[in-house]
A and B are shown apart, each in its own frame.
Chain A
Amino acid sequence: MTTPTPRTPVPVHSPREAPSPVHSPREAPPSPASSTPGGVGSSPRRPDGTLKVTGEFAYSSDMWMDDMLWGATLRSPHPHARIRGIDVTGAVRMPGVHAVLTHEDVPGEKRYGLEYRDQPVLAFGKVRYRGEPVAIVAADHPETARRALDRVRVDYEVLEPVSDPVRAAFDPDCPLVHEAGEDLPPAHPAHHRSGNRVRYQPVRTGAFADGATAAEVRALADVVVTGEYQVGMQDQAFLGPESGLAVPAEDGGVDLHIATQWLHVDQSQIAPCLGLPPEKVRLTLAGVGGAFGAREDMSMQVHACMLALRTGRPVKIVYNREESFHGHVHRHPARLRYEHGATRDGRLVYATAEIVLDGGAYASTTAAVVGVASSLGLGPYEIPHARVDAYGVYTTNPPCGAMRGFGAVQACFCYESQLDRLAAELGLHPVELRIRNAMSEGSRTATGQRVDMPLPMADMLRRAREMPMPPERAAAGPVDVRALPGGVANTSRGEGVRRGVGYGVGLKNLCFSEGFDDYSTARVRLEVVGGEPAVQVHTAAAEVGQGLVTIKGQIARTELGVERVTVLPSDTRVGSAGSSSASRQSYMTGGAVRAACLAVRARVFELVRAAGLVGDDHPDELLGLAGGKVVSGARGVLVSLADLLGASAVEETREFRHRATEMLDPTTGQGASHTQFGMCVHRAVVDVDVDLGLVKVVALDAVQDVGRVLHPQQLAGQIQGGSAQGLGLALMEEIQVSGSVIRNPSFTDYLIPTILDVPPMRIEVLEHPDPHAPYGLRGAGEPPTLSSTPAIVAAVRAATGRPLSRIPVRPEDIVGIERD
């Protein structure tokens, strides 16, 4: 097989400390093994950094083979329609066209799905969302492929779209998106699947568990606040479009070079659709231009493989931006209803939430999102009586699935809004109310799970409150319009501009939950290259920009005392690493690399003993690895790895699992469903032009506990990047869907924050180690995305006095113009 644009293993370059923006108030625990330069806790340069600044890093859209064909996808123009017939003859006859395929050409299973196999590879029977793939073409030029699509005739009988998720959840007369008799796999019995409901999960504690009504529980409270909220559909908006290259192999299989978050789960979905055994579908990670959840589900994977196998030629598919908006799942939009009751002195007595998540046409991760939204729907507060009802439903809207913080983001906006309303009712400072009801280590969540790791929420809130404030706007003197809402549009000279401050705190589960067998695999090889010890680390984990590739090298250096580490490209030649999602890879693949390193270390020590270097007089001698040498605590250097190993190599592969989690009880929602909790607190300061409804975020400062900092510089990047995405959801990012059709599928109309929208962000990082996790670390990527949104909205509320119960906040919500 010829290989496409090669990606050479990336040597980890000699590290140099870059100044760390992270302030750690607590001393990090000493490294468990050695203090090799570039190890855990330092900030070595990312090994792919050089290729990324020289333009040589090969993203999936850059893959190239001289004889390759270009694939293109015909998508449904209707959100809901029956397919009466498909005629491809016009397309097949076009010169340059090598294949035109429909559902009839799918060699194996006709459906796939991340958690539940309900999504057709190519539509048959019905289309259920606008943009659903119906036919695929391979041609010798991308334009030829696109023109061929125009010649495919599809006869549709247009059906009424199912656009309203609340109706889909509760109206028994609502048309079904997936009709009875469709031959779908059985749903999980605990998911209460029925009608358009993908999953319903209740949670009941206290009096609610004993069957008390809301009215009965309400009587226990002095103050009650209620709210109805809406969360719009957010897009991950990664910059590098969906793309991949499938290359047919001589053994009848296929090699796929793909930007994804989880190679093995792609493989396990692709192979049955192709009718091939998994070992004949080999995946290699191509360069990933951002992910944020959007690449957890498949896009063009099966299509490219089908075309490659049919034509016998390599096939490349690249989506453009408009197609990308239709080609991946989005964050679930949600409608939510909350009620909180408290005593006069600000103790929460009860809370209820009804959460409806719009899953769109196919299940994707909707069931898991419901699991998160139900279990964490009331946030990090001690609440004696809790009732949550979370629903995920099918509609004919664009399919929704994973996006950074999924399920928890939607709920966090609401419970934090509720706490602010309650604080206002009680005349308490929002931080004070939160501190009075804060969870801490030993608390129980609404699902009865005991928090058995540090959760210094009260301390974090205090720290956020005490962070230095940005300077006040000058009352007089010259005006710099760039610092005002509206900026150089020059819409204000400062009149009508009000400042507001708001807080947000969120609780996110990290790693996979609800009994999932969550594991990662790592292979570590130690050998001597050019007279020096060198380590190779091989995993299937997806580097999506977060910097896992750096972390893997750091762990190997720390555990093996060897500076030279090479991280091999990720592929399916090694066991699954699980997904680069749920903030889990430092924990899981980090844990696997560490376990494999420890196994290699144990083998090295056996060699030391076998060589008689540990004398009879030192049987229990404590051995270590440092500076490329085997050292004894008592006697110093025993032997160099170069001398010990000679021409032989030591290689070990290990699987790493986190502790088991439980399913939620289907009627009470009780269960220790999560492995680990992450928390971030934000304080936002905004200036709002109350006449025009424009917002300028002046400061967005964060306090996060990460257990243990592995790489201060990359950690800051995660917190700041996550905070910026939360800012986007608060103020500007929304896929506008009407009549189940996306109205703004471009970066002209879907706005993501630029640097001019994002203020300087101060970060305070705490390190209270989680005793259950490798190095005590806590996943860090998602929590900031939860808390930044409600903090900003709270600040805008403080500036304007408006209720602001939907995100993103629109100018008319601030100005107070009603919409119909």
Chain B
Amino acid sequence: MTEQTHEIRLHVNGVPHTATVPARRLLSDCLRHDLGLTGTHVGCEHGVCGACTVRLDGLPVRSCLMFAVSAQGHEITTVEGMAAPDGTPHPVQRAFRECHGLQCGFCTPGFLAVVAAFLEENPDPTEEQAREAVGGNLCRCTGYQNIVRSVLRAAELAREHPGAEPPGAGAAAEGGRA
């Protein structure tokens, strides 16, 4: 293809990457195909399901609604980068596993990104708040009840080990894993 391409530098999970992409390459496709980070899932391609959610400077964004070129200069965190540098899973990851907050698991990375960001803002949510926090993500398998439990359990785990929670993204992830 003769389309013009751009050399871009992306900072993903604390690691710099370069990729050569056309301007219209979606961040989701770039992560999955160019960088091989297939933990970010694509369920609908247009911003409805939330499976492709990643964190951009800590904020959850739908990577299928963003161009890769516009993610330059931001710190991107995908599900692959959620664990602490020593490999300790993030409290949200632990909670979803422990509370059976997943079945097929296709929706899970998106939920994890949303919930991790939510709990940083609101470390002690009510059940009602937990429900609302994930109102924008689809799960076809679970009926959501165990996802609510997972959110509340994650908050509990994070409170139990405040030091263990790795900062989700942003400057704090600097010098992360190589």
Contacts and interface: CB of A to CB of B under 8 A. Distances in A.
B68 interface: no
B69 interface: no
Nearest to B99: A18
A657 interface: no
A389 to B, nearest CB: 34
Max chain A Cβ within 10 angstroms of own Cβ: one of B40, B89, B102: B102
Interface stretch (B55-63, B129-137, B159-167, B170-178): B129-137
Contact of B109 (A16, A55, A723, A747): A55
A43 B97 CA distance: 12
A713 B100 contact: yes
Given A55-B37, A755-B131, A141 B103 contact: no
Nearest to B81: A55
Nearest to A5: B38
Contacts of B32: 62
Contact of A321 (B45, B98, B112, B139): B45
Contact of A756 (B36, B37, B132, B145): B132
Contacts of A544: 104
B84 to A, nearest CB: 12
A430 interface: no
Contacts of A48: 105
Contacts of B147: 755
Interface stretch (A122-130, A235-243, A437-445, A670-678): A235-243
A543 B42 CA distance: 20
Most buried by B among A239, A292, A321, A713: A239
A608 B129 CA distance: 59
A50 interface: yes
A758 B46 contact: no
A287 B51 CA distance: 15
A46 interface: yes
Interface stretch (A156-164, A714-722, A735-743): A714-722
A717 B150 CA distance: 13
Interface string B67-84: 000000000001110110
Contact of A716 (B36, B46, B146): B146
B101 to A, nearest CB: 9
Interface string B99-130: 11011111111001000000000000000100
Contact of A721 (B46, B89, B96, B141): B141
A49 interface: yes
Contacts of A721: 103, 140-143
B104 A53 contact: no
A43 B1 CA distance: 53
Interface in A210-246: 236-241
B138 interface: yes
Contact of B138 (A21, A61, A752): A752
B14 to A, nearest CB: 15
Nearest to B112: A53
B32, B106, B140: residue with the most chain A Cβ atoms closer than 10 Å = B140
Nearest to A52: B105
Most chain-B Cβ atoms within 10 A of its Cβ — which of A52, A287, A756? A52
A754 interface: yes
Interface string A51-77: 011111111011010000000000000
Nearest to B95: A53
A292 B140 contact: yes
B53 interface: no
Contact of A747 (B44, B97, B103): B44
A754 B136 contact: yes
A724 B146 CA distance: 13
Contacts of A240: 41, 43, 104, 106
Nearest to A749: B48
Contacts of A290: 103-104, 106, 140-141
Contacts of B107: 239
B145 A241 contact: no
A471 to B, nearest CB: 14
Contacts of B141: 239, 290, 545, 717, 721
A117 B37 CA distance: 40
Nearest to B146: A717
B97 A49 contact: yes
A55 B106 contact: no
A717 B143 contact: yes
Given A54-B89, A55-B80, A748-B48, A545 B40 contact: no
Interface string A269-304: 000000000000000000111111000000000000
A760 interface: yes
Interface string A431-467: 0000000000000000000000000000000000000
A241 B43 contact: yes
Given A58-B38, A239-B138, A321-B45, A53 B144 contact: no
Interface residues of B, number: 57
Contact of B1 (A143, A547, A758, A761): A143
Interface in A755-782: 755-756, 758, 760-761
Given A748-B48, A755-B148, A49 B102 contact: yes
A756 B134 CA distance: 9
Interface string A543-565: 01111000000000000000000
Nearest to B127: A760
A717 B43 contact: no
B145 A56 contact: no
Most buried by A among B48, B143, B144, B149: B143
A493 interface: no
Contact of A59 (B79, B98, B106): B106
A45 interface: yes
Given A239-B107, A747-B48, A54 B83 contact: yes
B67 to A, nearest CB: 15
Given A46-B100, A238-B140, A292-B140, A720 B145 contact: yes
A34 interface: no
A144 interface: yes
A289 B40 contact: no
Contact of A239 (B100, B132, B139): B139
B143 A53 contact: no
B136 to A, nearest CB: 7
B146 A720 contact: yes
Contacts of A719: 143
Contacts of A237: 140
Given A49-B97, A53-B93, A64-B36, A545 B132 contact: no
A486 B139 CA distance: 21
B155 to A, nearest CB: 16
A57 B100 CA distance: 16
A720 B144 contact: yes
Nearest to B36: A64
A552 to B, nearest CB: 16
Contacts of A54: 39, 79-80, 82-83, 89, 93
B135 A747 contact: no
Most chain A CB inside 10 Å of its own CB: which residue of B32, B46, B106, B146: B106
A21 to B, nearest CB: 7
Contact of B145 (A21, A49, A58): A21
Contacts of B94: 53
B37 A714 contact: no
For the complex of A and B, the 5 pairs showing the least CB-CB separation, nearest first, are A55-B39, A545-B104, A720-B143, A52-B105, A289-B106
25 contacts: A21-B149, A46-B97, A48-B105, A50-B89, A52-B97, A53-B94, A53-B102, A54-B79, A54-B80, A64-B36, A143-B1, A239-B43, A239-B49, A239-B104, A240-B43, A716-B145, A721-B141, A722-B143, A746-B44, A747-B49, A752-B138, A754-B137, A755-B148, A760-B145, A761-B143
Interface of B: 1, 32, 36-46, 48-49, 51, 78-80, 82-83, 89, 93-94, 96-100, 102-109, 112, 128, 131-132, 134-149
Given A54-B39, A720-B145, A761-B145, 8 more contacts: A49-B100, A53-B79, A59-B41, A238-B104, A290-B140, A545-B103, A547-B103, A747-B46
